[in-house]
Amino acid sequence: MTDALAPHGPYIAAVAAALGPVAAEVEAECPPGDGPYARITVDPGRAGVAGVDGLYLLWNPYVGWSWLRDATGDEYEWMGPDVLNPLTVPVVAAPALVAEAVNLLLLARTERLPLTGEAPLGDAASVAALREAVARGDLDPGPADALAAYWPR
């Protein structure tokens, strides 16, 4: 489920739209005290073509987009952020850049990741949800300004 009113909701929706059918499931939330995060489950058929049973794209306002192979059962033990692989730079990467990086990932061209681009320019002060997230400490001003570019005016 994507919370469209979450500080990062419009951005995550734009990324999901850029990914199209590759994005099988999209979750974006901002639990009080935890800050915003997002998880996109890559369509299992497309992940299978890439040779993995499951593939997730993860976003948070500290490291941006990362990818993670599904590890379940005996394989799974959360080892912290070291199991995350960077997908794009900057933290708020353009949706088209995220889609391009995912295409490389699905082609098993991980040596080319992370892809780099420019952060969009926005003004967090013009969006109440972003101002509030910065005031609560859920977002730093830099990512908040970049996220503002995806909010309707």
What is the secondary structure of 54-73 as a DSSP string? -EEEEEETTTEEEEEE---G
Q: Report the alpha-carbon distance of residue 101 to residue 109 in Å, rounded.
A: 9
* Amino acid at site 105: L
CB-based contact 42:62 (threshold 8 Å): no
Range of the domain at 70: 9-119
Instruction: Tell me whether residue 88 is in a domain.
Output: yes
Pairing state of beta strands 88-89 and 115-116?
parallel
Angle made by CA atoms 14, 15, 18, in degrees to the nearest 5? 90
Per the structure, the count of domains in the chain is: 1
> Does residue 33 sit within a domain?
yes
Sign of the four-CA dihedral 114, 3, 30, 40? negative
Q: What is the mean pLDDT of the chain?
A: 89
> Taking the model in full, what pTM does it have?
0.91
The tens digit of pLDDT for each residue in 69-104 reads: 876 544 445 555 567 899 999 999 999 999 999 999
Say if 62 falls within a structural domain: yes
Q: Of 89 and 3, which is predicted with more confidence?
A: 89
Q: Is 147 part of any domain?
A: no
pLDDT in tens, 27-41: 999 887 788 999 999
